Homo-oligomer: A and B are copies of this chain.
């Protein structure tokens, strides 16, 4: 049994090191590095480091798609990516040598037609027939894909009895929530996990207070709702009650990738049949270890184990 992470819009993440970024000026780039990117691929990287079986899928193409696959192979992460007649996008992160400040430039990605998206949906269905035990969906949809396409695919997953973990925003998140709300009694919605941040949660519910908003989203959709609150940790409306997981002292560091670490730990919790409070403990600790790591999206396993003991888990009442 394996966890499958779906990245609808994967990227080759390129990092440029410059002395200092000055808008309107010319910059000599001191070094160029690239690695596989896109939120679902980051989730897979964390799971692989946690020692949990994982494989990635998504649509790739062109030379940057080839580079992305080569990077996964080097990392030892299995891929079931679908080759399509598209040019995989890049993200460029400009890191300033002194301050370490990072400026991100995210290309929109190739415009997909319905046929290309169908090929990805077919691959996910094939993996469900094989040994997928949890499927995660992370990040934005590529241009040309309607928000309902993600909702349909998540419903296909939960409809076959497999938990689906969705970390997206805007119209795609709304579409997933609405699809779950329209069939709350079939049991499938109970296998849906949504992981918005505070802003995304407020947008989809229209409620600004996170506890009320999470409880509301759970009530209307039947999904488990895990909200990432940055330095305030995690808040989750689960079948086992509403829980908060946080560190006694907030950490400072680089929050890039912290949300992907949460998704990875939630998938691991399902994989290991942990209770929701124990799953949240891991998720809070991996996320915090990611914030502490000098390289965005990486973490030290020793740091994770240390932080796991420090996390405060509390049941929350409305």
Contact = CB atoms under 8 A, between A and B. Distances in A.
Contacts of A108: 28-32
A103 B25 contact: yes
Contacts of A27: 103-106
Contacts of A28: 106, 108
A26 interface: yes
A104 B102 CA distance: 16
A241 interface: no
Contacts of A94: 105
A313 B183 CA distance: 81
A270 interface: no
A102 B24 contact: yes
B105 A29 contact: yes
A248 interface: no
Chain A contact-residue range equals 20 to 34
Contacts of A30: 108
A16 B108 CA distance: 10
Contacts of A314: none
A143 to B, nearest CB: 11
Given A63-B63, A92-B92, A105 B16 contact: yes
A251 interface: no
A106 B23 contact: no
A108 B102 CA distance: 20
Interface string A239-272: 0000000000000000000000000000000000
Interface in A9-24: 16, 18, 21-24
Nearest to A31: B108
Interface in A88-137: 92, 94, 96, 101-108
A106 B19 CA distance: 12
A31 B143 CA distance: 12
A103 B29 CA distance: 12
A64 B90 CA distance: 13
The winner among A96, A102, A105 for most chain B CB atoms within 10 A is A105
Among all A-B residue pairs, the 6 with the closest Cβ atoms: A63-B63, A26-B104, A21-B23, A24-B101, A29-B107, A27-B105
Interface of A: 16, 18, 21-32, 62-64, 92, 94, 96, 101-108
